[in-house]
Structures are given as C-alpha cells and as structure tokens.
Chains A and B, each alone.
Chain A
Amino acid sequence: MTLHMTDPRRHSLLEDVQGIAFGIVMAALGIHILTHMGFATGQTTGLAVLIAYTGNLPFSLVYFAINLPFLALGWWYLGHRFALKTLITTAALSILTDILPRWMTLGPMEPAFAAILFGILFGIAALAVVRHGGSFGGFSIPALILQEKLKIPAGYVQLAVDIIIFSAATLILDPATLLWSFLGAATYSLFLAINHRRDRYIAA
C-alpha cells in the first residue's frame, strides 16, 4: 500500500472525508454517552438534549430539526458550499446517533469518567471537523455571521448561548447531574481552547 504524500498546505478530498467521518463517529459516541448519563451540555447539542429529555423525543430528530434554520442562515450568509457540507455532516451525525444504539449499548458508567470521556470525544470530534474545513453548524453559524457583520467575537456569542442553555438545564436536572455536565462541557472547552491552533496544524 502506497499513500502519496499530498501537499502539506491542502487536504485532498479523501483526507477531508476521513477527517470529517472520524469527527462524526466520535461526536455520535459522545452524544451516546451524554444521553445515556442524562447529562446536559452547551451549544446546539445542549439545546437538543434538553428538548429531547423534556419532550421525551428522540435526540436525532430534535438535533436535525434545530439545525435546519441555522443551515438556512448559513446558505444565505456563508455560502452554498459551506451550507451543503454542513447539511451532510449534520444529517450524518443525526442518522448515526439514531443507529448507534443498535450496535452498542452501555451498562453502568462512573459519572466523572463519563463526563471527561464525553468532553474529550466531543473535543477531538470538533478539532478533526474544523481542521478538515467542515462544521457541525448549529449556533456556530449565527456566531460566525455576527462576528463577520457586527465584529462581535464568536466566542462571546457562544458563551452567552451556553449560559442560557445551562440556566435552563438547572430547571430540569438534579444538582449532581448538573455538576457532572459542567465537568464534561469544561473538558470540551478546555480541550478546544488548548488544541485548536491554526498556526500549528497548518493544512486547510
């Protein structure tokens, strides 16, 4: 087996496909652990689990539905290519989270371990997808648009979203579950803050 050394600055299509596929599988596993433990989290996934828990609805359906208006925003403001790529990623993640329980069911899990494992799985998923020019869409789309149009840093918008989602979570989760949820979300944020560096991973 010989793999050609491609241009270090540019990913080939195959490289992007494997990177984004990897990210989708890791994200689906993270969501499986999250919902198995009944944890909350931030961003679009966080909103989707809260609706899924309170409405007793399947996560996959709620997650996909929430993403649709954001995808429309992306289509108008961030370009058709970006919107279509994000639609494929979002649809694949929704389908995989739906199918995954047929292939794997979890037994008892230590909450602290589940929270940290969720954090690093979601972190590596986001890192791989972003490095390969993809996106999980959701709230990152309005955050990016606001950053481009109004110069509001995307991180602030996403922090505001997380504060609202976690405030809502306090109404439906018990304190211990909420605490473990924080640990998971903090692990995820810290992982991305340390490792998402375009000056180190130079390919696009």
Chain B
Amino acid sequence: MTDPKSHSLIEDAQGLAFGATMAAFGITILTQLGMITGQTAGLAVLLSYATGIPFGPVFFAINIPFYWFGYRRMGLPFTIKTFLAVAALSTLSALMPSWVQFATLNPAFGAILFGFISGAALLAIFRHGASLGGIGILALYLQDRTGFRAGHTQLIFDAALFATALTFLPWETVAWSFLGAAVVNLVIAINHRRDRYIAT
C-alpha cells in the first residue's frame, strides 16, 4: 500500500494509460457517428472533418502550443504527463479503427456512451496530474487558482465550437453531439472533486 496522498510512478502510468485508451475508444465511437465534441479534442475532430486529415495527427499538432503554457503554469511533471497522454491518445485513436469496428451504432446511445467513456477518461487523467490538451490545461488552471469550475470553462469553449459545427454538419448530428458533450461535462462537474479523491 503506497502513500495515500501521492501516486507512485506506476500508478500514474496505469491511470494515464487507462485515460488515453478510454479517450481513444470514445473518439472511435464519436467519429464512427460523424459527431463532434467540445474542448481540444472537439476542435481536432472538427478540423479533421473539414480537411480530411485523421484525428490523431491533428490533435497532436493542435496541442503543441499549449505545452509552454502548461509548463509555466502547472510545472514540468504535469507537462510531461500531458504530452505523453496526448501522444498516446493520438497514436491509439489512429490504431483503434483496425482493432474494433461497429456494425451498427444508435446515435443517442453512442452519444451517451461517448460521454461516459470520455468523462471517465478525463477524470482519470486529471486525478493522475495530467490533462488531455490545451483547453483542459486552461480549465484546470482556472479551477485550481480561481475556483472557477473546469466544467464551466469547457462549456464556454464548447459553445463556440458547436456554433461553428452548425454551419457545415447536419443539425441532427450536432444535436446528438451536444448530448454527448453535455454528458462529458456533467460527469466532470459532478465527479471531479479534489476534496474526495485526495491523491495527487
């Protein structure tokens, strides 16, 4: 039994591996349905649909400018762990379509499943001292320093992304995407509590 207050390296490694795998599975569900989401991943999905470039490379590239900000505000261990999680998600999301295929997937169920899976992925990544990209870094920074909930920052960014998505995706797809993003945000808003999960 290790120190309850602090994660060992192996504990962080398994938490981040869990988070990256679940997040990549979430992206596989999302892109199968042609849906979008919020946050940095949402921006990457939107750009991926618009340009035809796969999600993995786009997501990896978008995140590059945020590492400096992450390093200055959150420190080196956070930045390294975030870089590794982003790299793992980018790689796994590129590989996963050859590991799992869906014959059928209902949009409403897919959206809720995406929300639960991505929510759990982000919770694990936050609890193990990392983030899944730029907007997450900003949201966590604001929550830890000002008390402004991470879920709220993400909601504001999501609104801008969804408004853009409405200009070139069918409104039904955007509506189901909204359901999925709402579930992600609810899972984070209810469960991301440093006063309950006390290890860092």
Interface residues of A, Cβ cutoff 8 Å to B: 1, 3, 8, 14-15, 18-19, 22, 25-26, 29, 100, 102-110, 113-114, 116-117, 120, 124, 128, 190-191, 194-195, 197, 199-203
Contact, CB under 8 Å: B196 / A120: no
Q: List 16 A-B contacts (CB under 8 A).
A: A8-B196, A19-B191, A26-B120, A104-B113, A107-B100, A107-B102, A113-B100, A120-B21, A124-B120, A190-B14, A191-B18, A200-B197, A200-B198, A201-B197, A202-B196, A202-B197
B193: Cβ under 8 A from any A Cβ:
yes
B138: Cβ under 8 A from any A Cβ:
no
Contact, CB under 8 Å: A120 / B103: no
Set of chain B residues within 8 Å of A128, measured between Cβ atoms: 120
Q: How far is the CA of A29 from the CA of B117 in the complex (A)?
A: 11
Contact, CB under 8 Å: B196 / A3: no
Which of A1, A103, A117 touches B105 (beta carbons < 8 Å)? A103
Contact, CB under 8 Å: B18 / A110: no
B167: Cβ under 8 A from any A Cβ:
no
Set of chain B residues within 8 Å of A104, measured between Cβ atoms: 102, 104-106, 109-110, 113
Contact, CB under 8 Å: B112 / A203: no
Contact, CB under 8 Å: B196 / A110: no
Q: How far is the CA of A108 from the CA of B101 in the complex (A)?
A: 6
Contact, CB under 8 Å: B104 / A203: no
Q: How far is the CA of A201 from the CA of B124 in the complex (A)?
A: 12
